[in-house]
Structure 1
Amino acid sequence: MSAYQVPLGSVMLLQQVLEKGGTTTCPVRRQQDWDIATIDAEVNQDTASVRVEFKSLARRLRLQRGDSANHLHLRDFIQDLANDRSDAVAKALALMDAHEHLSASLPDGHVAYITPTPWPATPFAAAITNNIGEMCAVASGADKDDLVAKVRAKLGLAVEGNGEQA
């Protein structure tokens, strides 16, 4: 075990800070070494905005409330930060941002499923279903805006801009 890990006992602490907000510290261990990550969470009705600081690194994470695995997402985020997997952290944050952006652009009754791709030119792919699970659109995009434009075009929705509304 050469990588930093958040001990199991601390995972429950992460769940509490995501529910109530506030600032806490969390031990991060590897072999005989350990250090402390500082977690500052601001919680509102819909999201938990979390700032994690480990040594000289600091990153932000925003989680949707109501996901029962949020404390595990936060644990993974802390471990990635501690193990200097900042590239993985950046990709995960970009993927979450693209999902949030795409979901906000869809009409009611549609659900976005998003995944990374192995292609640098189009790093995001999405599948859109309706409320009964039927596939409505599939697209990949160069960034979140490109992905939204392609999905909306495949769904036959007007592209919003210059005062227009879809």
Structure 2
Amino acid sequence: MSEFQISLHQIMLLHSTLDKGGTAICKLQRPEASVDAQVEIENDATHHRIKVTLGPLCSSLTLPRALSTKCQSLRDFLQDLANGRADSAAQSEEALALMEAQASVEKVLQTGQIAYVIATVSRQLPLGAVVTNEKGDVCVAVTGADKVQLAAAVRAKLKPGPDGLGNCA
């Protein structure tokens, strides 16, 4: 049995999608079969954040925009995932949820604050966040059911109350 490969045409599509962001369907082929990977790319000033769905597998990858081999890295990542080398390609659903929660929480931080997002042992509130200032003082510690609830809890606690607490600058 041969391995899944990505054609040059598909590599060019991936390269274009990396530059512009957005979604693409990438066909991986081997002589007896083909599979489609759905690739979602979000770009910011410094990174490409990539989410890949391939059948029941969901995985993610972050690549620096300045990396000259980013298209080859994405190709290798997709081929590893399709060929069952999940240990080198796939991140767990939990890891993906933690990355998404981290990004959501970072959007509500004030200048000089650092967020640490973790998995908890609670099934009802599986995500936790601790926000510190640059000195390492804890500003906020919250839990949430999902990334939206977690970010909202951080935002609410960071607003200073009548006693001045919450705004840990």
Question: What is the TM-score when the length of structure 1 is the normalising length?
Answer: 0.52
- Is residue 149 of structure 1 aligned with residue 148 of structure 2? no
- Is residue 96 of structure 1 aligned with residue 95 of structure 2? no
> 2:119 pairs with 116, 127, 132, which one?
116
C-alpha deviations, 1:56-112, integer Å up to 9, x for none? 55645242639xxxx9xx98xx67x93779x96211111100000101111111100
- Contact 2:59–2:92, Cα closer than 8 Å, also in 1: no
Where 2:107 maps in the other structure, the secondary structure is helix
Alignment-derived partner of residue 47 in structure 2? 47
Cα distance in 1, alignment partners of residues 44 and 148 from structure 2: 26
* 1:41, distance to aligned residue in structure 2 (A): 9.9
* 1:52, distance to aligned residue in structure 2 (A): 5.3
Q: CA RMSD in A?
A: 4.5
- Contact 1:45–1:65, Cα closer than 8 Å, also in 2: no
Alignment-derived partner of residue 133 in structure 1? 136
- Is residue 82 of structure 1 aligned with residue 66 of structure 2? no
Unaligned runs of 5+ in 2: 1-17, 20-36, 66-72, 162-169
Q: How many residues align?
A: 124
| Higher-Rg member (1/2) | 2
- Contact 2:114–2:134, Cα closer than 8 Å, also in 1: yes
C-alpha deviations, 1:120-150, integer Å up to 9, x for none? 1001011100112111110111111211122
Identity %: 26
Pick which of 144-153 and 119-128 moved more. Answer: 144-153
Where 1:150 maps in the other structure, the secondary structure is helix
- Contact 1:127–1:139, Cα closer than 8 Å, also in 2: yes
Cα distance in 1, alignment partners of residues 53 and 147 from structure 2: 27
- Contact 2:120–2:128, Cα closer than 8 Å, also in 1: yes
Letter in 2 for 1:102: V
Where 1:63 maps in the other structure, the secondary structure is strand
Unaligned runs of 5+ in 1: 1-20, 23-37, 159-166
- Contact 2:58–2:91, Cα closer than 8 Å, also in 1: no
Alignment-derived partner of residue 12 in structure 1? none
- Contact 2:60–2:91, Cα closer than 8 Å, also in 1: no
Change (3 A) 1:146 1:94: same
